[in-house]
Amino acid sequence: MKPVVERFLRYVAVATDADPQSAKVPSSSGQLFLAKMLAEEMKSMGLSDVEVSDHGYVMGSLPAAAEKYPVIGLIAHLDTSDAVSGKNVRPRIVENYDGKDILLNPQEKIFLSTKDFPEILDHVGEDIIVTDGTTLLGADDKAGIASILTALEYLIDHPDIPHGTVRVAFTPDEEVGHGAALLDLERFGADFAYTIDAGPIGELCYENFNAASATIEIKGRSVHPGRAKGKMINAILIAQDFLAALPPKEIPACTEGYEGFFHVCSNVGTVENATIELIVRDHDSEHFEGRKALLQKIVAELNSRWGEGAVSLTMRDEYRNMAEVLQHSMHIVERAYKAMELAGVTPRVKPVRGGTDGARLSFRGLPTPNVFAGGHNCHGRFEFLPVQSLEKSMEVVVGILTGTTV
């Protein structure tokens, strides 16, 4: 088994589900456990300046092997999504995939279907790492961690290959919007960086959504239903009116590419009270502001119908499109593009339909596009990772750092 695969399988054994309800950083103890485990591994490899902060940030350095090279940062995140459990992950490798549906779990009759997930057919003849259908896999982003450390190990084993100083950071709670907020950029000391994070082979991203979260609180009035005429105000039905006012086709299941959306994350309530949680996403800043204005308009209309204060809206901007920054540093993107070509990978420049630590880091002054780690179907039980994509991710990282190929 190649080192990058062995590393990945070892990392997914550690449960690092982020906890969106926690106010702590890291939000789960497993992240800190993995952080300390990685720090020991980095020290044993020979990396210098290895440290773990109280908040679970891991940093280390590979000293320069040549002069006049930039200091490049490599970043991946420790946590996995809480959408599906990452505890007790049982990965297996389907060798020489034959193009048929993959039976993940005989007892539960769970299949990775080519009809539902046709992208797997792009990997016929390759080796595919899958779950047992009861958990996510964790390629987002333990594949990125494995790719980075294996690339650095390769450079340590080949000291004749010139490269500059490499700074590494593994960060917590990306999946709950923390955005590497506590990464000390001055201490990190990189000229620019790359997140190595999820995504099919060839993906290179320097654009992402503008993002906001929204909470709708609805106050109703409960009255005995037999005597309710003209008196009852049903918060559940007002919630339905709110949802019906949203554009029906502007949801994740109906959009792609640069198309934005509203995503209803939860809708719970009683006659007296109802709460809707949703997120707002758009790559275009004007369209993004328009989406937020639409929510305000719907709330105003509902209040005019049901009485002022019946419906309240709280919105919070989460992150912005890093293209605003990276369009002025396109040489960084071009460096990754050339590294892919050197590795025999066809670059696919596309927008991230989500967030990335690189977005916040870019706006904090560290330009940070994203490079693929090879994963598919992240955040779910049908997640899979082609071994050959993971290996190519590692080769691309080497190319970014050195301008050569493995």
Q: What distance in Å separates the CA atoms of residue 377 and residue 385, rounded to the nearest whole number? A: 9
State percent of the chain over pLDDT 90.
Answer: 94
Could you say which DSSP state residue 101 is in? P
Q: Is residue 175 annotated as a catalytic residue, yes or no? A: no
3-class secondary structure per residue, 40-72: HHHHHHCCEEEEECCCCCEEEEECCCCCCCCCE
Helix (H) or strand (E) holding 3: helix 3-11
Rounded-to-integer distance, Cα 213 and Cα 211, Å = 7
- pLDDT over 70 percentage in the chain: 100
- Among candidate residues 79, 153, 197, 318, the one labeled active-site is 79
By DSSP bridging, strand 166-171 and strand 128-130 are unpaired
Q: Mean per-residue pLDDT for 300-304? A: 97
What is the tens place of the pLDDT at every residue in 177-231? 887 999 999 999 999 999 999 899 999 999 999 999 999 999 999 999 999 999 9
Environment class of residue 64 by beta-carbon count within 10 Å: exposed (0-12), middle (13-18) or buried (19+)? middle
Average pLDDT over residues 36-58: 97
Query: What is the Cα–Cα distance from 140 to 199, expressed in whole angstroms?
Result: 8
Q: Over 80: is that where the pLDDT of 1 sits?
A: no
pLDDT of residue 215: 98
Q: CA of 338: how far to CAs of 68, 201, 215, 352, 405, in Å?
A: 19, 14, 43, 20, 10
Pair of tokens at residue 5: 């695969």
What pLDDT score does 207 carry? 95
Q: Which among 17, 174, 197, 391 is annotated as catalytic?
A: 174
Structure confidence at residue 28 (pLDDT): 96
> Tens of pLDDT along 354-388?
878 999 999 999 999 999 999 999 999 999 999 99
The reported pLDDT for the residue numbered 202 is 98
Give the sheet arrangement for strand 192-196, strand by strand.
48-52, 58-62, 166-171, 72-77, 192-196, 370-371, 203-205, 348-349
The 10s digit of each residue's pLDDT in 98-139 is 999 999 999 999 999 999 999 999 999 999 999 999 999 999
- CA dist 78 and 268 (Å) reads 31
pLDDT recorded at residue 178: 85
Per-residue model confidence (pLDDT) at position 354: 82
- How high is the pLDDT of residue 369? 97
Q: Active-site residue 132, yes or no?
A: no
The span from the CA of 357 to the CA of 195, in Å, is 7
CB 194 within 8 A of CB 76: no
Whether residue 405 has pLDDT greater than 90: no
| Model pLDDT for residues 337-353, shown as the tens digit of each residue | 999 999 999 999 999 88
Query: What SS3 class is residue 245?
Result: helix
Classify each residue of 255-273 as buried b or exposed e, where b means 16 or more C-beta atoms within 10 Å of its C-beta: beeebbbbebeebebebee
Place of tokens 């994740």: 252
The stretch 63-77 carries a mean pLDDT of 95
CA separation for the pair 332, 193 (Å, rounded): 8
Element (H, E) at 386: strand 384-386
3-state secondary structure of 280: strand
pLDDT at position 198 is: 83
pLDDT exceeds 90 at position 250: yes
Q: How far apart, in whole angstroms, are the C-alpha atoms of residue 75 and residue 26?
A: 16
Q: What is the pLDDT of residues 23-46, one digit of tens each?
A: 999 999 999 999 999 999 999 999
Tell me: pLDDT of 151 over 90: yes
Q: For residue 379, give the DSSP letter.
A: T
Name the residue among 283, 289, 237 with its Cα closest to residue 260: 283
